[in-house]
Structures are given as structure tokens and as C-alpha cells.
């Protein structure tokens, strides 16, 4: 029975080959940060108000000027098309049906144009700070032409984090069936049927440009070639010069960097440690959130990213000053469990939990939330 996000995770684990499930579910090194992202929401409990009329509740809000039905944003996640045929398209359609923003990753399997054609909902596009500015410039031009409204620039990947589950599993894109995983893969009949019938697992945004179409390149070798360890704030100014829409900078984990990002003119700051997939032993995103909110002082919108598994987590983040929250694994489990229906289920679960929490704590609208709605317990 599927009641919560963890139930979707269990279905995903049964359906996916081990290496693919671990790619979604895992984090860097000891996975301390990944676990802290989730666990630290338990440091907060609610301060409910009773005898409040909560008959009219609404989680609609605006994010960077756009009206949305929920403060949940689907985070950019690479290779979602490995979990389900046309995984990014089905996830984008699910988001559009629920009135949530969908972010296409540079490393998507479906191209950004395919996603744009298939979904009419609000769409953002995510980029890295890569070495080759001509590749980046052409991606930005395509994103503009395809109607993406916000550019999300991920800045926490000067090098790739060490994901030890991927290394042990020999994870490559597209997935290869070999001696080490043949038995495990054959057990995942439903996934395997889809994989065999839909052999188009490739880097959708580059299939005509980078010549990576047919070679099974390892995740590490492709990305490390492009990630630039020489990034600086000048790069952000360059992005600003070629993109006239709003920019969200993703991967900010300190007040100092939040201030610098505001000085460089970003419209949104995504407090994020990449779901604990990059640098291990960073604090959780929710721990850093209040410091960033205070440093930004309303000059940009702040988005919390990392660890959301419950609607109550979203409510806590908004009480701490976030405008919206990104979810990564939560919707990936949904896509893996049931394609579009599974992603819709993930959103339904979280949105119902947000709604119920707002009722039970006597704050019927997101605008009723402030730090007085929660208390820090310090305990788990």
C-alpha cells in the first residue's frame, strides 16, 4: 500500500536494477550529509494554534513572479529517463497537472525541447558552470527558444562528488548488463522490458553535438571533462550577460556566499548541498536555511533543497523563510514506481500533507507561516 514517500521508495527499490536504484538513492562518501538533510527536519516541531478557522486553506503561492499551486518545485535530476521511458517528460507532465514547477537538468535523457513540447506547465532549466562556454551558450539559446523561464545555475560541482555506491556498482550511462549485474537485472522484469523496448538512453541535450550518442561513457568521465574547477563569480556575470530572465543559483551553503550572490544580481538562492551527493560532511540544507534567509534579507527569494520527504518538511522550511522547496529523490521514487502516475502520486502525497499540516497547526495559508509556527527542539 502506498501511503507516503517512503512507500514509493520501496516500490522503486523493487522495480529498478540495483545500480540504478543506488544512483538515485545514494549520496557522497559516508552519506552523512544526505542523511542529515532528512534528519534535521526532526529538530523542529510545530507550535500549533487552535480554534482558528481553517476551513479555507490554500498552498498556492508565487515563485519568481509566477503563480503556482504549490511551493514544491521538482529539482533538476539527471538521467530520470533511465527510471521510466521518457522519464523527464512524464515527470514534467505530472508537475504541470499539479501546478508545480519542473526543472530540466542539463543531464536529462529527454532533450529540453522534447520536455517543452510535451508539457505546458511552468518550466525551469538547469545548467552547470562548465568549461566550454560555447556549449553553455548554445544550451542557453535553446532554453530561451523552448520557453524556459528561469535559469538554475548549479555551483556546487567544481568536481564530481565521490558516490561510492555508483563506483561499486560500476554505474554507467546507458546502463550495461554484464556479468556483475545480469542476475539482478533479469529479476527486474518490468524495468527490463521497458529498457529493451526503449533503447534510447542517451544524453538528450547533446545527442547531436557531443558525439556521446552511442558510446556507453561512464558518468564520471563525461562529467569531469566538463566540470570546471576554475569557477568564480565572474562566471555568474557572464551568464547574466547572455540570459535576460531570472537566475536561481543552486548550491549556496553560507551567509557570505548568499550575500555575494545577491550582489551579483541573482533573483533566487537555492540553499542546497546537492542532496548530499557532492561534498560529504556539509551541514544539512535546513540547518543553513535561517542563516541564508537572514543574510539575504528579502533581496532575493530563498529556496530550500534537500531532504524533503514529508509535506510537514515543506511547511517547516517556509516557516523558516523559504519561498519554496525543491524535491529530488521524492519525485524520482515516484517516476521509478509508476511513471507519470507515480510522480503525480508523490506530489499528491506531499501536497495533501502540506494541506493537513496547515490545518492542524492553525495556519491556513503559507503567508500565515513565520518562525513562530515552529520550535527548535535540538533533539531527534
Cell output for 295: 543574510
Task: Tell me the residue nearest to ligand FMN as measured from the CB.
Answer: 328
Q: Which is nearer to ligand FMN, 54 or 332 (CB)?
A: 332
- Give residues with Cβ within 8 angstroms of 244, minimum separation 6: none
Least distance in Å: CB of 126 to ligand FMN?
5
Contact 106, 128 (CB under 8 A): yes
Q: For residues 373 and 314, what is the distance between their CA atoms, to the nearest angstrom?
A: 13
> Is 274 assigned a catalytic role?
yes
* Residue of 214, 264, 274, 365 with catalytic role: 274
Q: What is the 3-state secondary structure (H, E, C) of 204-227?
A: HHHCCCCCCCCCCEEHHHHHHHHE
Q: How many CB atoms neighbour CB 200 within 10 A?
A: 13
Q: Which is nearer to ligand FMN, 40 or 344 (CB)?
A: 40
Q: Which is nearer to ligand FMN, 129 or 369 (CB)?
A: 129
Residues of this chain that bind ligand FMN (CB under 6 A) = 24, 37, 75-78, 105, 107, 126, 154, 250, 272, 274-275, 277, 305-308, 326-330, 332
DSSP secondary structure of 16-73: S-HHHHHHHH--STT-HHHHHHHHGGGGEEE----S---SS-B--EEETTEEESSSEE
Q: Which is nearer to ligand FMN, 172 or 308 (CB)?
A: 308
Least distance in Å: CB of 306 to ligand FMN?
4
Peptide bond into 174 cis (omega under 30): yes
Least distance in Å: CB of 63 to ligand FMN?
16
Least distance in Å: CB of 108 to ligand FMN?
8
Residue 152 pairs with which residues in a beta bridge? 126, 248
Q: Which residues are catalytic?
A: 274
Amino acid at each position: 500500500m502506498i501511503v507516503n514517500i517512503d512507500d514509493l521508495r520501496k516500490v522503486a527499490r523493487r522495480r529498478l536494477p540495483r545500480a540504478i536504484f543506488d544512483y538515485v538513492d545514494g549520496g557522497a562518501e559516508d552519506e552523512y550529509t544526505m542523511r542529515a538533510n532528512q534528519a534535521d527536519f526532526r529538530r523542529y516541531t510545530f507550535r500549533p494554534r487552535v480554534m482558528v478557522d481553517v476551513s479555507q486553506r490554500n498552498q498556492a503561492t508565487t515563485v519568481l513572479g509566477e503563480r503556482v499551486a504549490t511551493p514544491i518545485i521538482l529539482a533538476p535530476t539527471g538521467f530520470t529517463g533511465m527510471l521510466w521511458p521518457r522519464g523527464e517528460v512524464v515527470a514534467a507532465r505530472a508537475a504541470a497537472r499539479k501546478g508545480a514547477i519542473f526543472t530540466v537538468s542539463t543531464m536529462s535523457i529527454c532533450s529540453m525541447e522534447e520536455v517543452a513540447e510535451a508539457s505546458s506547465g511552468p518550466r525551469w532549466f538547469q545548467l552547470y558552470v562548465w568549461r566550454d562556454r560555447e556549449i553553455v551558450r548554445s544550451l542557453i539559446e535553446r532554453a530561451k527558444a523552448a520557453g524556459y523561464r528561469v535559469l538554475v545555475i548549479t555551483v556546487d560541482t567544481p568536481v564530481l562528488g565521490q558516490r561510492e555506491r555508483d563506483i561499486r556498482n560500476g554505474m554507467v550511462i546507458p546502463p550495461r548488463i554484464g556479468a556483475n549485474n545480469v542476475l539482478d537485472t533479469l529479476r527486474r522484469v518490468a524495468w527490463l522490458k521497458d529498457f529493451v523496448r526503449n533503447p534510447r538512453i542517451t544524453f538528450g541535450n547533446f545527442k547531436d553535438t557531443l558525439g556521446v550518442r552511442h558510446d556507453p561513457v561512464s558518468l564520471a568521465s563525461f562529467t569531469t571533462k566538463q566540470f570546471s574547477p576554475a569557477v568564480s563569480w565572474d562566471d555568474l556575470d557572464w551568464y547574466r550577460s547572455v540570459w535576460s530572465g531570472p537566475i536561481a543559483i543552486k548550491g549556496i551553503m553560507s551567509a557570505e556566499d548568499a550575500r555575494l550572490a545577491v550582489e551579483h544580481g541573482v533573483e533566487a538562492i537555492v540553499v542546497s548541498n546537492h542532496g548530499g551527493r557532492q561534498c560529504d560532511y556539509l551541514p544539512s540544507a535546513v540547518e543553513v536555511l535561517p542563516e541564508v534567509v537572514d543574510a539575504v534579507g528579502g533581496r532575493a527569494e530563498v529556496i530550500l533543497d534537500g531532504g524533503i520527504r514529508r509535506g510537514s518538511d515543506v511547511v517547516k522550511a517556509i516557516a523558516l523563510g523559504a519561498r519554496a522547496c525543491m524535491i529530488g529523490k521524492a519525485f524520482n521514487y515516484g517516476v521509478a514506481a509508476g511513471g507519470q502516475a507515480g510522480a503525480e502520486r508523490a506530489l499528491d502525497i506531499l501536497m495533501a500533507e502540506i494541506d493537513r499540516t496547515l490545518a492542524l497547526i492553525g495556519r491556513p495559508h503559507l503567508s500565515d507561516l513565520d518562525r513562530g509556527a515552529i520550535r527548535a527542539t535540538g533533539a531527534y
